Structures are given as C-alpha cells and as structure tokens.
Structure 1
Amino acid sequence: MTDDHALVFSDDEDDSDNGYNHPEMQGVLSKWTNYIHGWQSRFIVLKDGTLSYYKSEQDTGFGCRGAISIYKATVKPHEFDECRFDVSVNDCVWYLRADNPEEKQQWVEVLEAHKAESGYGSENNLKRHGSAVSLTSNTLSTASTSSFKKGRGLKEKVAEIETFRDILCQQIDTLQQYFDACAETTPSLRGASGELQVADFKGEALTFKATAAGVIATLQHCVELVGQREEVWRRRMEREVEKRRKAEEQARTAASRRLIIHSSPDYEEGPHSALNDEEFYDAVETGLDRLEEEDEFRERLKNKSSMKPLLSKVSQHPLWPEIDRITVEQLHYARLGVGEGGWQLFAEDGEMKMYKREEEVDGLVVDPLKACHVVKGVTGHEMCHYFFSPDYRMDWESTIEQMTVLEKVSEDTLIFLQVHKRIWPASQRDSLFWSHIRKVPDDKDRDSQDIWIVCNHSTDSSEFPANTSKCVRIYLTVCLVCQTLVDPPKDDAKITRDNITCKVTYCSVVNPGGWAPASVLRAVYKREYPKFLKRFTSYVADQCKDKPIMF
C-alpha cells in the first residue's frame, strides 16, 4: 500500500461560490476481483463524482478498468473486517480493503463527504443558474453531462429536459424583450416605410417552444413504449426464472452435489463464512475435479537419470536430532496394527485399505490417517525414492502449484517449501517441511531385510515465516514405509518384477492451519486420500516397469 495518496479539494471558483467543493482522493487499495483471483491491488481514484480504478498508478494514462458514480452510492464498513469497506450502487458492489483501519476510515469519510457536499440530480445544478442568466453552450453542456451521470431512469431524464426547456424559454423571453426595447429606441432599425428591419425573434421563440414541446412529447411517448416493452420482458423473465427454478430442483434431485459460486469475499473460508457445510463441500469438490482435469492434460516430466542409493550424511546438521527421533517414532507408529487405537476403516479398494481416527485441535480437524496397500512389480526402495525425490514430485502430486528446495542438507535430507493450488472457497495453503529417506537397518527378529522409509515433518524458517503472505501454513507429519517381498523364482532363474511385491504403509497427520468446516474436510479426505495413494503407486509402477530393479 502506498503512502503517497492525498486528499485534494477543488478550488474551482464557480463551485466555491456556491458553497460546495469536490473532495478528491487517490491511492492503492485491495479490491476483490473474483473467486479465482481473490484480492488484488488496484489504484483507486475519486474525482468529479466518480470512483474509478486502474491496475496500477502507471496505467492511469491508458484508461480506467471500471468506474461508478458515488452520488447515489452506499458506503458501508464491514462488520468484522476493520480494514474493509463496500461501495455499492444498485447491483454493482465494489469490495475494497485498506492496509489499516485509519486509512479505511479516511476513504469512508471522504466518500461520505463527497456525497453530502456535491448534491444529487439536475435540480441542484440548475439552481446555480438564475432564469435571467444566460447558459453558455459550455455551461449547459457541463450541467447536462453531470446531470446525465447522476440520473438513473428515462423519466428523470425527461424531467431534466423539461427543466432545461423552461430555462431556455425564459432566456428567449428575456432576449425578446431586450430586442423589442432596442427596436423602439433605435430609429436606424426602421426602414423608409417605418417597419422594423430585424429578425422576428418573437416568432422564432414561439417556434422554438413548439419544437421543444414536440421533442418532449416524443420522449414521453418513447418512455411509454419502453415501459410497455419492459412489462413484456418482465413477464417473460418471470416465466424463464420459474422454468430455471424447476430445472434446478430436478438437477438437485438427480445429482446431490452442486457447485454454488458466490462472488463476494464474504463467502471465503473463515469462521464468519456465509457458506454452509454442503455448499463449502460442493465448491471444494468441484475445484478438486478441475485439478484432476488439469493433471490429465499436463505433460509428465521425463527424467532419464539413473537412480542411485542414498546414504545418510546429515548427522552434523542442527536438525539431525529431531529428524532421527521423529523418523524412528514414525517407523514404530507405522508398524503398529490397526486393531487398537480406535481406527475406523473408511475406504477399501482391492488390496488398499484406509483407516482414520477423528481428532480436532483448537477446533481444527487433524484426523490421523493410516493406509495399507500392496503394489506388485516395484521394490520398497523404488517406491520411497519416487516419493522423496523432487525430480518427480510434480508428476504425481497434482495439488502443488510451486515447489522449492530451500536447502539440500544432504543426499538423503531436503527442506521443501511447497505452495498448493487454491481450491475456492478455501484460502491458499503452503507447507514448509524437511524430508528424510533412509533404509531401515536389518532386524534379525524380523523376516524382512529390505525396508525403506521416507518421513516428512513441518519445520520453521526465519526467511519464510508462517502466515505472513497470502498463504495459510499447513503443519504435517507424514511417513511412507515400504517393505520389499520377494517370491523366489523356480530353478534359480533370475528375479524379475513378477517376483517382487511392495507392502506400503502410509501414515499422516495434517493440520490445515486455518478454519474450514469439519464435515467438509472429512468428506474431502475420504474422497482424495484413496485417489492420491492409487495415483502415486500407479505412477511408480509405470515408471519402473521398463527399468532395472533397484533393491
């Protein structure tokens, strides 16, 4: 937000003589654009009774992007947001937001002052000109232009024209009296026969009055025709609205989920959101469908570099104690069964089973999730490699808008900052976490000798603090534990991918970081987690099918 906007009052002599000035103001405010782009910075200008906006101050020479007259506008500060105010004229509403309450109050006061001081309609403008004062073409044009900006209907326009006609008629009468007086007192204006040698101003005045009356009568007739046409269209619209209402009722019966789009920021995520849980879920579900469609047409990145085993070199890093402790905890957590602890099976598809527990922290849903799956043709090392490596993440993770590796701690430990795609009406999210991959040491008490784990856990960064930008920070703990099972081939044949199977255990605890209806989040989890796990495991199987086996 700039600090160079200023409150400027007009010093026009004609305006000051009649007791009112036009307050002017300009500056940068956040303007709600639409449900996709949300709040955007715009250069706002208040001048000559018009509130207009530009994309930036540098664009003011290329024409405004939109403008509304504030003479009949309603300026309303927001009930909960102390920095926001709405300016509305009929059905047109501008949602504006200042950087601080003081700046918001300054804008509101100037807008209200402009409405109070400027007056409305042609009556105030016309009172500035006496009936005996000539309206020059420039003044008349200015007054009529201003009047047409302020008026709202054809009837008001006809009334304004009648007022202007009355003024012109009075001026013509005055001029006629003046010329009659001049003719009586100036002998040179008479010819040899004693008749006046001047134009018949009186006849011209009568003709002008008749012409003006004819124009007004024609305009009144036009108003009547428009009114009749308006009535026909109104009845037709009522019929169309009724048809649409019935069609929507039938659609709701056939499809229980329907997207309801609201253009106002009042329908954004937050405790004061005007969306109910069902509408919130419909909006989120449709947004997720759109992401899937984009993902289907997105070209997959091809990385032909050979995969190499990753060995730990992170023990000297300040985060290492936390990384080691949480990774061991998550491995133990993943190995525990689901028979105890209140796990509920909520999704099942062949070998894949997903369990959850319903938990909330400070009113936010943080339901722990555990998924078990079996994938043929890949090893645990390959599965964890594709889950960990940033080279492939954009291929299988369709919700990411931007991914940055902030720090490469070692070959097996990275720190990621991810910005996730926004799904209206939820706010955009980001996540900052370390990711660590390792092979689990051999355990003589266990049959398997090949287990790999990837553990992701939220961390902090002074360079990228949480919730300081447009994004809400997600806090997460995720682990992927993969165990390779080998079915020995007969007759000492070479092991192929047909002989290997990967047992996958996926655990996650995600804090969304911001308010959203609990029922919506749980419905989204139930829908998206199974799709995510199937998408990821299918991606790995497809990538590995023609490559050498990596144990």
Structure 2
Amino acid sequence: MCVAKLPEIADDVTEAIDAVELADGNSLSLHAGEVRATSTSFKATVSATLTTLQHCASLMRRRERQARQAEELYMALKNQLTEARLASKPGPDHEEGPHSTLPDDEFYDAVETGFDKMEEERCARVVSPSVHTRDQVDLPPPAIDNRLTVHPLWTEIDRISTEQIQAAFEDVGGSIGWQLFAEEGDMRMYRREVEVDGMVMDPLKAMHKVRGVSAREMCHYFFNPRYRYEWETTLENMNIVEEISSDAMVFHQTFKRIWPVSQRDALFWSHVRASDDDTYAVINHSTTNPDYPPNASGCIRLFVTVCLACRSTYPAGEQPSRENITTSIAYCSTVNPGGWAPAGVLRAVYKREYPKFLKRFTGYVHDQCRGKPLAI
C-alpha cells in the first residue's frame, strides 16, 4: 500500500508510514508497529525466497553439468566398449585374416555352431512337396535353347559346360591327385588340396547314386530357382539378374553370415543341358555385372565353378520306372572364398558339410518326385 501510494518514498518505510492516510481519515502512523512487523516479515520472506531460488538455480546448474558429464562419460565408455569388441572380434579383414586372434579350434567351433543353427531352422520348417505340376516347359529342355546361342555369354558357357561335363565322370584314380576324404553308403567325397595366395581353393568331387529319380529330375530341381530356398539352407537372398533362356539364367545370391566369417555373395550364370547317355548337367560359373560390383554392401564376393552331372541307367529291354531307374551323380565344386580363413578349418567344414548337403538335396528331390510321373 505504501509503495503503491507514494512510490517516490517507498525506500524509506518510516516516511511512507507517516505520509499515508487511510480511507477513514486516520493516519497509518497509528499502526506503525503492526506495519513495521509485517514489513519485516515480508522482507524476511522475500529474502528467504530469493535465497531459496538462488540455491535452486545453483542446484539446476550443477545438475545440468552433472548430466552433461554423465552423457560424455557414457559416450566415452560406449566408444571404449566398441573398441574392445573390435579388438576381440575384429572387422571382416581381421576376422578372416592371417592375424586373426581366434585359434583354429575356436574358429571351427563358431562356424560349426552357425551351420548347426541353420540346420535346426531348416528342420523346423515343414516343407511339403511342391504343389506345382511339372511340365515340359519347367523341365530341362532336351536341346539347347536357341536364345542362348546368340547371347554374349554363349561362348564361355558352352566351353566351360563342355569341360565340366567331360570331367565330371572321369576316374578319380591315377596321378590326378584326388584324395578320398568322406565315405558313406554309395557316396564318396574326394578333394585335391590347392591353395592360391594362402586361400584354400580345393576342388571337390562327390560321387553318389540315387534310386527312383531320373537325371533330368535331379537337374530340374537344382537349376530351377522356384525350389532353391527349400533345399539351400545357407541362402539368404536370391535375385534373377537375367533370364537368358529356358536353360540359362544369371543369379545374384547372398548367403547367411556365420560368425566369425564375413558374409558372402556370388554372381554367376547357371546353365542346364542334356548330354549323351541319358545325362543331364547343371553348371554354375561366376561372372561379372556392373550393377552387382564385388565386395559391396558389406559382402565378400566368392567365385565358384560348380557342376552337377547326373546319368540315369535302367535294365536293358525294360521301360524306365521309379522302381528300376538309378541315377549316378557327380558333383564337382571349386570355390574361391574371396577372403582368408584357416586352411584346416575350411577343409574340416568341407568334410562335414558337403556330404550333408548332397544327402539333403538328393533326399529332397526324392521326396518331391514321389507319386509323380517319371520324367526322363
């Protein structure tokens, strides 16, 4: 009231009290003691409030500094943890490089665990025989498609396919150097130890026999992309880059990553053809395409030459049927992994996985063909 009435003397409480006249005509000085007590109390309250506000502001500034320091500490610890992880599990070049910190046995155990997980996932999927009815268009053609013979890749495809089919059923004895490394029933697995620039590039050959399935049917399921996700457990993604003809395509495939090995991809043409003596074959061979550059998107490009050659036989004078047909299979593979990995580990993985793959694939084809007319 004093300040509102006489702001020019508001700084002097005594003068303000003496100068103010109340509404009833009495002087405010009659209540001086009460006013002074109230004023003193108000000043004390304001002073305490200001002190408290200053303390709160100081606390807020300190909390802000602490929060900033905590955030900086968190980022520093996070960076240290990331660096520690990279030191214990290096990037792709170091994981697979000759300076890898993983001993060979741990490297193999990690890869083995990855394959086991993929196999469990495959077994968990219930894959029933395809509902598609086979027809002559889907089956490998008995003659080379004319569209392929005018394609720029034709010369290479024809040369490599001819070489691979010829070599598929050649004898593994003599001085060629094939070593038997796995045997189970009718299946024999051979390899020749080859290293190029420290990378294992062992050519592999598997010889097997399947009854009740024709060579044409085996190659149909191996070549046709419709079925590939059903039997290829390591496949993550597949793109048809170019459909050249009914018997040739170009594929880009990305494979599931298995730590500590970097993720791989492959770009290859695939060609299926008929040959003499009831023989069919599928040949896959790496190629190039500017739209799919190697070692992009975090994947290491692997380079492959694969041949699945199948030859059917049945008793002379009889019509072929599910009951009397036998198909001999020669599966040949040469893979450049594109990056270093312990030679012993790779060879151990080959010994474990190749027989499993061949049994899985032939079993899949046998199940798919059950109850369907024989195609020969």
TM-score normalized with structure 2 length? 0.75
Contact 1:291 1:399 survives alignment (8 Å): yes
**Map of 1:49 onto structure 2:** none
Q: Distance in 1 between matches of 2:84 and 2:352?
A: 26
Contact 1:433 1:456 in 2 (8 A): yes
How far does the alpha carbon of each residue in 1:4-55 deviate from its partner, in whole angstroms, 9 at most, with x for none? Answer: xxxxxxxxxxxxxxxxxxxxxxxxxxxxxxxxxxxxxxxxxxxxxxxxxxxx
> Which residue of 2 is the match for residue 468 of structure 1?
296
Counterparts of 1:540 and 1:382, CA distance in 2:
8
1:265 counterpart = 2:86:
yes
Alignment check: 8 A CA contact 1:483 1:504 kept: yes
CA shift in 2, pair 1:375/1:274, >3 Å:
same
Give the C-alpha shift of residue 312 in structure 1. Answer: 1.9
The answer to which structure, 1 or 2, has the higher relative contact order (CA under 8 A, 6+ apart) is 2
Structure 1 runs not aligned, ≥5 long? 1-133, 152-261, 443-448
SS of the residue 2:329 aligns to: strand
Q: Matched residues in 2 for 1:347 and 1:529: separation?
A: 9
How far is 1:351 from its partner? 0.2
Work out the number of aligned pairs and report it: 299
- TM-score (ref. length: structure 1): 0.52
What secondary structure, in the 3-state scheme, does the structure 2 residue paired with 1:264 have?
helix
Among candidates 157, 164, 167, match of residue 323 of structure 1: 157
CA pair 148-398 structure 1, distance change in 2 beyond 3 A: closer
CA distance in 2, matches of 1:495, 1:332: 25
CA apart distance, 1:476: 0.3
Equivalent residue, structure 2, for 1:34: none
* Partner in structure 2 of residue 457 of structure 1: 285
How much does 1:525 deviate? Answer: 0.7
Please tell me the residue identity of whatever aligns with 2:292. F
Asked whether the equivalents of residues 488 and 499 of structure 1 are also in contact (C-alpha less than 8 Å), the reply is no
Distance 2:328 2:96 in 1: 40
Cα separation, 1, equivalents of 2:268 and 2:252: 7
- Find 1:509's aligned residue among 323, 327, 334: 334
| Structure with greater Cα Rg | 2
Q: Trace 1:473-492 onto structure 2 (pairs within 5 A).
A: 473-488=301-316
Aligned to 2:268: 433
Partner secondary structure for residue 453 of structure 1: strand
Check conservation: 2:96, 2:260, Cα contact below 8 A: no
Following the alignment from structure 1 to structure 2, what is the Cα–Cα distance between the partners of residues 263 and 384? Answer: 49
Query: Equivalent residues in 2 for 1:216-235 (5 A)?
Result: none
Establish whether residue 136 from structure 1 lines up as the match of residue 55 from structure 2.
yes
1:279 Cα deviation after fit: 1.0
Q: Distance in 2 between matches of 1:452 and 1:148?
A: 71
Asked whether the 8 Å contact 1:380–1:482 carries over to 2, the reply is yes
Aligned to 2:181: 346
1:145-224 matches, cutoff 5 A: 146-147=65-66
Contact 2:236 2:256 in 1 (8 A): yes
Contact 1:312–1:410 at 8 Å: present in 2 too? no
Q: Distance in 2 between matches of 1:454 and 1:148?
A: 64
Whether contact under 8 Å (2:104, 2:342) holds in the other structure is yes
- AA in 1 matched with 2:101: A
1:375 corresponds to 2:200: no
Provide the alpha-carbon RMSD of the alignment.
2.1
Question: Equivalent residues in 2 for 1:62-81 (5 A)?
Answer: none
Query: Does structure 2 conserve the Cα–Cα contact (< 8 Å) formed by 1:375 and 1:501?
Result: yes
Separation (CA, whole Å) in 1 of partners of 2:280 and 2:185: 23
Contact 1:453 / 1:481 at 8 angstroms: preserved in 2? Answer: yes
Summarize deviations over 1:434-486 as a string: whole Å, max 9, x none: 0001101x3xxxxxx21111110000001101112211101000001100010
CA contact (8 A) 1:370 1:506 kept: yes
User: Match for 1:312 among 118, 139, 144?
Assistant: 144
The answer as to whether partners of 2:213 and 2:369 remain within 8 angstroms in 1 is yes
Who is 1:282 aligned against?
109
Alignment of 1:236-247 (within 5 A): none
Residue of structure 2 in register with 1:44 after alignment: none
The aligned counterpart of 1:500 is: 325
Is residue 291 from structure 1 mapped to residue 123 from structure 2 by the alignment?
no
The 1:290/1:466 distance shift into structure 2, 3 A limit, reads same
Counterpart amino acid of residue 143 in structure 1: R
Name the SS for the 1:430 alignment partner: strand
Q: How far is 1:300 from its partner?
A: 2.6
1:83 — aligned with what? none
- In structure 2, how many angstroms separate the alpha carbons of the residues matched to 1:471 and 1:517? 19
Equivalent residue, structure 2, for 1:60:
none
Instruction: State the Cα distance separating 1:307 from its structure 2 match.
Output: 3.4
Distance, in Å, in 1 between the alignment partners of 2:346 and 2:185 is 25
Q: CA deviation at 1:503?
A: 0.3
Q: For 1:523 and 1:495, how far apart are their aligned partners in 2?
A: 39
Output the CA distance in 2 between the equivalents of 1:263 and 1:288.
Answer: 27
